[in-house]
Structure 1
Amino acid sequence: MKISARNRLKGKITAITKGATTSHVRIDVGGSTVTASITNEAVDELALKVGQDAYAIVKASDVMVGID
């Protein structure tokens, strides 16, 4: 896979929850869960399945930092 985004988190799909038009795809990345909201069409086109390896790719113009 070639992509310009540098924030790629490799993990395993743990759940796919389809709604009317949007799916929530949960990816376990080293014990932490990242949830992506993507279209149902994208889930079908990528043939996503629970247990499959996948990347969470973060592309944002701003990243916030917080502390306790």
Structure 2
Amino acid sequence: MKLSTRNTLKGTIKKLELGAVNAEITLELSPGIEIVSIITKSSAERLNLAESIEAYALIKASDVAIAVD
């Protein structure tokens, strides 16, 4: 598989919460480093997502904002 996405982060699904319409997936990239994604429930089911399996976070954005206090 070839992707145009440049930011590919591999991790393990730490938490999967299925709602009526959406699913919230917490992907642990390394101990203490997590990223959360919200996708449709049907996509989570189609991908057979479950806790403890390896998955990838694919991030494609033309802008990434940074802020400080």
* Alignment-mate amino acid for residue 21 of structure 2: T
With normalisation by structure 1, the TM-score equals: 0.90
Q: Map residues 37-52 of structure 1 onto 2, 5 A cutoff.
A: 37-52=38-53
2-structure distance, mates of 1:67, 1:61: 20
Q: What is the percentage of aligned positions where both structures have the same residue? A: 35
- Secondary structure of 1:26's counterpart equals strand
Structure 1 spans left out of the alignment, 5+ residues: none
Give 2:35's aligned amino acid: V
Letter matched to residue 56 of structure 2: Y
Shift of residue 65, structure 1, vs aligned partner = 2.2
Aligned to 2:55, the other structure's residue is in SS state strand
Matches of residues 19-58 of structure 1 in structure 2 within 5 Å? Answer: 19-31=19-31, 32-58=33-59
Residue type at the aligned position of 1:61 = S
- TM-score with structure 2 setting the length: 0.89
How far is the alpha carbon of 1:67 from its aligned partner?
A: 4.2
Which runs of 4 or more aligned residues in structure 1 lie more than 4 Å from their structure 2 counterparts after TM superposition? none
Which segments of 5 or more consecutive residues in structure 2 lack a partner in the other structure?
none
Q: How far did 1:33 drift? A: 0.8
Q: Specify the alignment match of 1:11 in structure 2.
A: 11
Tell me the C-alpha RMSD between the 2 structures: 1.2
